[in-house]
């Protein structure tokens, strides 16, 4: 592999999230270590001035150059981190300073590829760079992004999305997954996996990986729905049809469907399937069970049903999922015992 140096410019501004800025360079720096030559990236930090920038964590960072100087360069990748303002308990609002937005728009015009980290997607949106595109951001601000920019197809579920030469990533540690995906595009999947191992990331998650698992979904304020959720999670291997759930809750099937739609934003059948997929994911990651065994233990019945559910929910197959996400080494005496899913 010949030596290749790609210029990555990371946008800095006051209050920026620290990990959004420092996480990706850690990934990019390991490319050179893995190749053993000058192949890789040259990462620079750009701001309005070269004065220190104070991040949201209180750590100060020194820019390498100004936005003006960066605009004179041939930029391979423009990386735009995010920042939020606290607006009450557990409420945040993305910061979109007009001056920063203008510079993002200018620098994007001089870049081969653009990527946002976390709520940095709001800066791209304000700059008009996501119009007509599918994009993601941190789950806590996704609804706001969709409301303020209806021309953007906002999907809060994936950890990152690529739309042509524009990439958007979900929040916090997902910046590492996004960075690994950029490495894979530039230098191949095998090198990206080697970098992931150096980072002690046991897996390299594809963009379709969900930001959430079923037990982490928002808790309902209705006692009856919470009891139903616990009932589902305790009985994933058993019979969980809509009529059975309705009988368990002492309501009609129509009322059950309305309750799930109102409280959890989904249908009973979809929720059950999501919960079973979540249990299957855990087994595929941590056991050596066959697909037939996983399908039976998670309530799918058949391998074909398991495969269809994985394709529908994760856009992959159980075999491919295990290949990517396996986190344990099989023991010589076989897989560990499978435990039933616990309630949240």
pLDDT, residue 237, reads: 86
- Report the CATH number that the domain containing residue 304 is assigned in CATH: 1.10.10.60
CB 62 within 8 A of CB 86: no
- Residue 288 has which token pair? 């050596």
- Residue 119 has which token pair? 């709520």
CB 294 within 8 A of CB 280: yes
CA dist list (Å): 153 to 38, 118, 138, 142, 243: 39, 16, 14, 10, 35
- Is residue 223 domain-shared with residue 194, that is, in the same domain? no
pLDDT, residue 74, reads: 94
List the one residue out of 123, 124, 99, 210 whose CA is nearest residue 159.
210
pLDDT, residue 10, reads: 98
List the one residue out of 30, 23, 19, 66 whose CA is nearest residue 46.
66
- Is residue 43 domain-shared with residue 151, that is, in the same domain? yes
Helix spans in the chain (H): 18-35, 67-71, 98-108, 120-126, 142-148, 174-187, 189-198, 223-234, 242-249, 253-264, 268-286, 291-297, 303-314, 318-325
CB 87 within 8 A of CB 93: yes
Let me know if residue 89 belongs to a domain.
yes
- Is residue 102 domain-shared with residue 21, that is, in the same domain? yes
CB 63 within 8 A of CB 12: yes
pLDDT, residue 80, reads: 98
Q: What is the DSSP letter of 203?
A: -
pLDDT, residue 201, reads: 63
In whole angstroms, give the CA distance from residue 304 to residue 301. Answer: 9
| Torsion, Cα of 306, 262, 231, 239 (10° steps) | -40
How many folded domains does the chain comprise?
2
- Report the CATH number that the domain containing residue 188 is assigned in CATH: 3.40.50.880
Domain boundary among 164, 198, 232: 198
Let me know if residue 206 belongs to a domain.
no
Domain boundary among 170, 198, 226: 198
- Is residue 174 domain-shared with residue 254, that is, in the same domain? no
pLDDT, residue 27, reads: 93
First to last CA, the chain: 49
- Is residue 153 domain-shared with residue 272, that is, in the same domain? no
pLDDT, residue 65, reads: 97
Domain that holds residue 250: 214-325
For the chain, list residues with pLDDT below 50.
Answer: 1, 202-204, 215-221, 327-344
Let me know if residue 204 belongs to a domain.
no
Let me know if residue 330 belongs to a domain.
no
Domain boundary among 157, 174, 198: 198
- Is residue 144 domain-shared with residue 19, that is, in the same domain? yes
CB 145 within 8 A of CB 122: yes
Q: Which residues pair with 86 in a beta bridge?
A: 92
List the one residue out of 17, 19, 81, 90 whose CA is nearest residue 46.
81
């Amino acid at each position: 592999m010949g030596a290749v140096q790609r210029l990555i410019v990371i946008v800095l501004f006051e209050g920026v999230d620290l990990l959004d800025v420092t996480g990706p360079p850690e990934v990019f720096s390991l490319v050179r270590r893995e190749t053993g030559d000058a192949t890789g990236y040259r990462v620079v930090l750009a701001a309005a001035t070269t004065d220190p920038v104070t991040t949201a964590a209180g750590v100060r960072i020194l820019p390498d150059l100004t936005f003006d100087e960066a605009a004179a360069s041939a930029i391979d990748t423009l990386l735009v981190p995010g920042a939020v303002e606290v607006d009450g308990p557990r409420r945040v609002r993305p910061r979109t300073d007009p001056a920063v937005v203008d510079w993002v728009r200018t620098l994007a015009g001089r870049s081969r590829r653009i990527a946002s980290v976390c709520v940095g997607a709001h800066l791209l949106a304000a700059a008009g760079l996501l119009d007509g595109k599918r994009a993601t951001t941190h789950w806590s601000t996704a609804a706001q992004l969709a409301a303020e920019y209806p021309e953007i197809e906002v999907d809060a579920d994936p950890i990152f999305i690529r739309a042509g030469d524009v990439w958007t990533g979900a929040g916090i540690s997902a910046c590492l997954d996004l960075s690994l995906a950029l490495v894979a595009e530039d230098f191949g999947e095998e090198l990206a996996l080697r970098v992931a191992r150096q980072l002690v990331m046991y897996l390299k998650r594809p963009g379709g990986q969900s930001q959430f698992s079923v037990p982490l979904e928002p808790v309902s304020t209705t006692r009856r729905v919470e009891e139903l959720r616990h009932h589902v999670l305790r009985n994933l291997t058993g019979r969980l049809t809509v009529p059975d759930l309705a009988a368990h809750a002492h309501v009609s099937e129509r009322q059950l469907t309305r309750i799930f739609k109102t409280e959890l934003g989904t249908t009973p059948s979809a929720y059950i399937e999501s919960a079973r997929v979540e249990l299957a994911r855990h087994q595929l990651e941590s056991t050596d069970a066959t697909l037939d065994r996983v399908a039976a233990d998670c309530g799918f019945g058949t391998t074909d049903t398991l495969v269809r559910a994985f394709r529908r929910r994760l856009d992959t197959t159980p075999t491919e999922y295990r290949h990517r996400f396996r986190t344990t080494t099989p023991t010589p005496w076989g897989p560990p015992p499978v435990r039933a899913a616990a309630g949240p």
